[in-house]
A and B are shown apart, each in its own frame.
Chain A
């Protein structure tokens, strides 16, 4: 049995004058595939369908991949709102470019001081201090780790993001890479005591391993093919909602102490602020999903990201 759906934009404009014809047991994915056939410009990941808002709602329920049209009560003559999300790009593509940049940009400052610090008399690249060399090693290790995780560890729940994010994210990562690299590799760099650098970077490496372990746990949270939230457990997850961010931030704190550079401190703070915002959102989502009612688990009391305060 077939049903015909009316598709409009939020401004009331008819998106498909003849509507869209689908089997009554069709899934959301089949709707998107059919829509893409009718309007080839809007491939599936660009399409966003919502139900008309009910009383009190600002916008209607979102049609989610994996569900059926009947799950939303859609029948013959029902109306859907369509929104074009704009050109999309996969998460892994964005991650690749945003992490590849720092891997290239930072060493430029280490290896080409005559080019990037024109006229500044100080030590040459042959005379690079131990701390600066260690910092280069740590930085390189960190971003290689991120790239490997992107392709071999992380499981992304949203397939794509708007293309604009590629430029925004790359500007952030590449910009800060240059900012930090400029000062750490400066010919007039003043090295902190070597012992301080060794201990701080050792601590940072420990944080990197902790962060990696957290990523593995997160990747294995959901059995293949299932969707929906799962309460993370084990390792630091028993006490903190987002311990991967905790480890990441502490790793950069170690780097800052090792290099004793204001630029690194600023980079750490800005990253921490962004991660705090993400952690708050994740914590709120988990608490809302696992509210302890109707037989659902209750999300345990945990720190959000930075014990003992947050």
Chain B
């Protein structure tokens, strides 16, 4: 990776391993709950604390991009982190009525499964020991998991909307000293309209990455020699 010294790489390695451990534990909590109750409803109660903690910590990835420790734009990292955090902290954590839903259960599982693949891939790539099957997994698992995750998120927000509107959650009206107004349920509705477009861009980007990364190595070597 460009611009990383030994200390940066050691830090990133530590970061990715820690994040993997966190999400692996969340997955364990989810699996334990699912096998005990035979459903994914109520997953948030089982793994919610862990998920909230590691989602918060993952904000560091914005800093990593901004400092050039990793590639990619900090703006993109911010958007992804903000999107997930808005759903998790802004909506789900604040609305007990949706926490037990199937939507939230699906969301938790999709997130956990994606992360326990993504972080080890980063760690292994940093250490230079990334096996081909892990790269394949990283760039294939997203195909079902991303749509699943997005559907879970959007559905959870839709379920929460009437409660948010009724409670006036995170909503402020005029008049007030700051001359500001914000309607959280309206904001969420606009976001829901934008979601498919924003998400589709990420999805197709990952497909392009997939084609690049999963190229058979002989063809890749030939291209390099040209």
Name A's B-contacting residues (CB within 8 A).
Answer: 183-184, 186, 188-190, 259-263
Contacts and interface: CB of A to CB of B under 8 A. Distances in A.
A186 B178 contact: no
B181 interface: yes
Interface stretch (B14-22, B29-37, B169-177, B191-199): B169-177
B180 interface: yes
B177 to A, nearest CB: 6
Contacts of B181: 183, 186
B166 interface: no
Given A186-B179, A190-B177, 17 more contacts: A183-B174, A183-B179, A186-B174, A186-B181, A189-B174, A189-B179, A190-B174, A190-B175, A259-B179, A260-B177, A260-B178, A260-B179, A261-B178, A261-B179, A261-B180, A262-B180, A263-B179
Interface in B141-196: 174-181
A64 B177 CA distance: 54
A186 B179 CA distance: 8
A-B interface, 4 closest residue pairs, ranked by CB to CB distance from nearest = A262-B180, A188-B174, A188-B175, A261-B179
B175 A262 contact: no
Nearest to B176: A190
A190 B181 CA distance: 12
A260 B175 CA distance: 12
B92 to A, nearest CB: 26
Contacts of B174: 183, 186, 188-190
Nearest to A261: B179
A214 B174 CA distance: 39
A147 B133 CA distance: 60
A189 B175 contact: yes
Among A184, A190, A259, which residue has the most Cβ atoms of chain B within 10 A? A190
Nearest to A191: B179
Nearest to B180: A262
A188 B175 CA distance: 5
Contacts of B176: 190
A261 B177 CA distance: 8
Nearest to A186: B174
Nearest to A120: B174
Nearest to B179: A261
27 contacts: A183-B174, A183-B179, A183-B180, A183-B181, A184-B179, A186-B174, A186-B179, A186-B181, A188-B174, A188-B175, A189-B174, A190-B174, A190-B175, A190-B176, A190-B177, A190-B179, A260-B177, A260-B178, A260-B179, A261-B178, A261-B179, A261-B180, A262-B178, A262-B179, A262-B180, A263-B179, A263-B180
Contacts of B179: 183-184, 186, 189-190, 259-263
A259 B178 CA distance: 9
A188 B172 CA distance: 13
A184 B178 CA distance: 10
A267 to B, nearest CB: 12
Contacts of B175: 188-190
Contacts of A186: 174, 179, 181
B22 to A, nearest CB: 32
A262 B179 CA distance: 6
Contacts of B178: 260-262
Nearest to A187: B174
Contacts of A263: 179-180
B176 to A, nearest CB: 7
A190 B179 CA distance: 6
A183 B177 CA distance: 12
Contacts of A261: 178-180
Contacts of B177: 190, 260
Nearest to A192: B177
A259 B180 CA distance: 11
A260 B177 CA distance: 7
B124 to A, nearest CB: 28
A274 to B, nearest CB: 13
A237 to B, nearest CB: 29
A190 B176 CA distance: 7
Contacts of A189: 174-175, 179
A136 to B, nearest CB: 15
Among A184, A188, A261, which residue has the most Cβ atoms of chain B within 10 A? A188
A290 B56 CA distance: 44
Interface in B99-124: none
Nearest to B172: A262
Contacts of A259: 179
